[in-house]
Amino acid sequence: MFNEHITFPIDTLAVNLAGSFLLAYLTTVVFTKWRIHPLYKTAIGTGFVGSFTTFSTLSVETMDLFQNHYYFLGILYIALSIFGGLWMSRLGFKVRKEVTEG
């Protein structure tokens, strides 16, 4: 991660955005169809999707950008991660609605 050739961490961003979609979709489709205890829902959602996405990598890569004076890219990365994640979650809920309601 800490290297001389700084690039925008698009790979981590893509995985985190996909994870936001997946978690929203899973929690509304799978968990509403099956009777699962709320504790297990949290464990499955956090365990499965949490192992797929990585907030710690987002943090380290952002600090890497800042330490190498790529402030705009660091702020852009944070903004895209937060707002993109929210948008992808919304999309996951919308797709679930289309799938279940036709």
Residues annotated in a binding site: 50, 53
- Kindly give, in sequence order, each residue whose CB lies less than 8 Å from that of residue 68, ignoring residues fewer than 6 positions away: 6
- Give ∠ CA 76-11-95 in degrees, rounded to 5: 85
DSSP 47: I
Binding-site members for Na(+) are: 50, 53
- Give ∠ CA 46-59-49 in degrees, rounded to 5: 20
